[in-house]
Structure 1
Amino acid sequence: MRFRNATLFVALAVAWGSAFTAIKAGLDYFPPVLFAAFRYDLAGLLMLGYAVYATDRWRPRSRPEWTLVGVGGLFMIAAYHALLFVGELGVSSAVAAIVVSLSPVLTTAFARVFLPEERLTVVGVVGLLVGFVGVVVLSNPGRGALVTSRTVSLFLVFLAAAAFALGSVLTRRVEAELPIETMEAWSMLLGAALMHVASLAIGESVAAVRWEPRGLFALAYLVVVASALGFLIYFDLLERLGPIEINLVSYAAPIVAAITGVLFLPEELTAATVAGFALIFAGFILLKRDAIRDELLGAGRTAGERH
């Protein structure tokens, strides 16, 4: 079982980490928001087909269930991906993945605001600040202008991570018993529709798409590997490992993004990138130290019982 979980964890990290590289590659061929919309047009249909196959409730029925889909579609699909895809125009895939890895840290901050039962200790506040310092280090501000195309792109990716974190907290406030596959499918389709509207609003056009093999491969990879297969693995691991261990995928993904970016794109790994990642990861450890300790103690007790 441990070997199976570890294999799936690595597979998920590879799928989601390399997705940032596929996004970066595909941006040479697609307008960014339209690219994200195409991705979830197709991924949503695939996930809906899986929901029909795997669950007995393939569509929402009640108002709370549609509210859950609405929150997921608006924040976790549309806002997150539109901002991420536009932001990746100005930063490397590794840097984008590292900023997105701030999501678990931001989730804790939003939970403190919207979920009264959540508490943030002094050490937790330090963890938040350390994570934010990591983003500042990533921006690598010099003595020149603070507002550059790179810092704007970093800010957009940061907003993407914040949108995803906010969406994940708000969905916890909605009392609805909807299969997660069904929720994801309809959220993807709703998010795709919203991104098509946003794409039109900012003047993007299908006529600007370059229908070339490399771009189509990037789109297919995002749809099949990163979205469809990635989310199926995620659902399986979430049930087996729980939310704390699955959050660690956020910190394995940037490593994969850095490697694939160097191998397949003209990207370089800088000292600021490594330092920023280390600080964000340290912030996560400080925030989740109690939950991580409980997980480790639980795993230790389970191993002892087996022996």
Structure 2
Amino acid sequence: MLRRSPALLPLLAALFALYFIWGSTYFAIRVGVESWPPMMMAGLRFLLAGTVLLVFLLLRGEKLPGWRATGNAALVGIMLLAVGNGAVTIAEHQQVPSGIAAVMVATVPLFAMCFSRLFGMPGRWIEWLGIAVGLVGIILLNSSGHLAGNPWAALMILIGSVSWAFGSVWGSRIALPAGMMAGAVEMLAAGMVLLLGSQLSGEKLAAAPALSGFLALGYLTLFGSVIAINAYMFLIRNVSPAIATSYAYVNPVVAVLLGMGFAGESLTPREWLALGIIVLAVVLVTLGKYLFLGRPVIKSVRAD
């Protein structure tokens, strides 16, 4: 079936949402954790976003999904948002620069490629080359600079990236609620798990959050969650996967520039090199299958 080309304005708006809004969420998290405990802020973000999206869908006449699909979506939400995004939020609270966190998260497509192979989806040589290049970038990024002095935060982001990748691959092979309802359930489940973790870990507000903390939470809830997720769903339905997932190598650049411009962050020469290597690796894994097509397999058909 041929995919119809979407109108130019909605396409550009969706790409802007993924490239720049998702890229800017790392800086927004950096601002937010200066006022909020990390798991509390992440939990409120997803609980509020999931509630807003669910109410919108119910008012539009959509039905609640069945128990099986709801349970699957909840598990995916925990892996992607509670563990994946929660790890980034905690790491930034431990003074990991937002740009460095974004570079580490850019490795998600590399891990997703490995998990796809475990699920019986083999990759081409160019994609495995991307995996090898990405590993070099990860080692280089962790060998000096900001992450070398904070190994637990580095490990936390790495675990979060692996969890996001596995959840993405596994989630593509199970029954989930239709359309945006899946995102609503995922965010609600992640929000509740993160808030539970916040309570169990003893997080407390030492003082009322600053205005910047409330603005960061609002931005992450509305723009970083509700709008960006809808934009991603639009792209998945209307453009090739290569275009829809191209945010993976644009977000780190946006995050690094915002961190340097507004938060006084800086990267060492080795970290700049690691950024370039990881972006190259993600390009190879994401676009390799489209730029280097495999040879067609011709099967003979025996006439009866």
Relative to 1, partners in 2 of residues 1:13 and 1:122: Cα closer, same or farther, differing over 3 Å? Answer: closer
The answer for the alignment partner of 1:151 in structure 2 is 151
The answer for the alignment partner of 1:187 in structure 2 is 186
The answer for the alignment partner of 1:304 in structure 2 is none
The answer for the alignment partner of 2:136 in structure 1 is 133
Equivalents in 1 of 2:231, 2:127: separation in Å?
30
The one-letter code matched in structure 1 to 2:108 is S
The one-letter code matched in structure 1 to 2:11 is N
Equivalents in 2 of 1:209, 1:77: separation in Å?
26
CA contact (8 A) 2:82 2:194 kept: yes
The one-letter code matched in structure 2 to 1:170 is W
The one-letter code matched in structure 1 to 2:87 is L
The answer for the alignment partner of 2:116 in structure 1 is 111
CA contact (8 A) 1:93 1:258 kept: yes
How far 1:274 moved relative to its partner?
2.3
Query: Is the counterpart of residue 120 in structure 1 residue 123 in structure 2?
Result: yes
Out of 9, 15, 18, the residue aligned to residue 9 of structure 1 is: 15
How far 1:108 moved relative to its partner?
0.9
The answer for the alignment partner of 1:67 in structure 2 is 71
Relative to 1, partners in 2 of residues 1:129 and 1:184: Cα closer, same or farther, differing over 3 Å? Answer: same
How far 1:183 moved relative to its partner?
0.8
Instruction: In structure 1, list runs of 5 or more residues that go unmatched.
Output: 296-307
The answer for the alignment partner of 2:170 in structure 1 is 170
How far 1:237 moved relative to its partner?
1.7
Equivalents in 1 of 2:30, 2:87: separation in Å?
13
The one-letter code matched in structure 1 to 2:141 is L
Q: 1:86-122: CA deviations, max 9, x gaps?
A: 1122311111111111111111111111x22x01344
The SS at the match of 1:173 is coil
The SS at the match of 1:281 is helix
The one-letter code matched in structure 2 to 1:45 is T
Q: Which has the higher helix share?
A: 1
Equivalents in 1 of 2:272, 2:214: separation in Å?
31
Equivalents in 2 of 1:14, 1:275: separation in Å?
22
Equivalents in 1 of 2:209, 2:217: separation in Å?
11
Equivalents in 2 of 1:231, 1:209: separation in Å?
32
CA contact (8 A) 1:30 1:209 kept: no
How far 1:294 moved relative to its partner?
7.3
Query: Is the counterpart of residue 231 in structure 1 residue 229 in structure 2?
Result: yes
Q: 1:136-167: CA deviations, max 9, x gaps?
A: 2222438xxx9954232122111111111111
Worse-superposed segment, 131-140 or 246-255: 131-140
The answer for the alignment partner of 2:297 in structure 1 is none
Q: How does 1:204-283 map to 2 (within 5 A)?
A: 204-205=203-204, 207-208=205-206, 210-283=208-281
CA contact (8 A) 2:51 2:188 kept: yes
The SS at the match of 1:96 is helix
The one-letter code matched in structure 1 to 2:24 is S
Q: How high is the TM-score relative to the length of structure 1?
A: 0.85
Out of 275, 284, 287, the residue aligned to residue 286 of structure 1 is: 284
Relative to 1, partners in 2 of residues 1:228 and 1:289: Cα closer, same or farther, differing over 3 Å? Answer: closer
The one-letter code matched in structure 1 to 2:111 is L
CA contact (8 A) 2:245 2:286 kept: no
Equivalents in 1 of 2:85, 2:286: separation in Å?
26
How far 1:55 moved relative to its partner?
6.1
Equivalents in 2 of 1:242, 1:55: separation in Å?
29
How far 1:290 moved relative to its partner?
4.1
Backbone CA RMSD of aligned residues: 2.3
Equivalents in 1 of 2:42, 2:279: separation in Å?
27
Out of 95, 98, 106, the residue aligned to residue 103 of structure 2 is: 98
Size of the aligned set, in residue pairs, is 286
Indicate the percent of aligned positions where both proteins have the same amino acid.
24
Relative to 1, partners in 2 of residues 1:18 and 1:61: Cα closer, same or farther, differing over 3 Å? Answer: same
How far 1:209 moved relative to its partner?
5.0
Relative to 1, partners in 2 of residues 1:2 and 1:294: Cα closer, same or farther, differing over 3 Å? Answer: farther
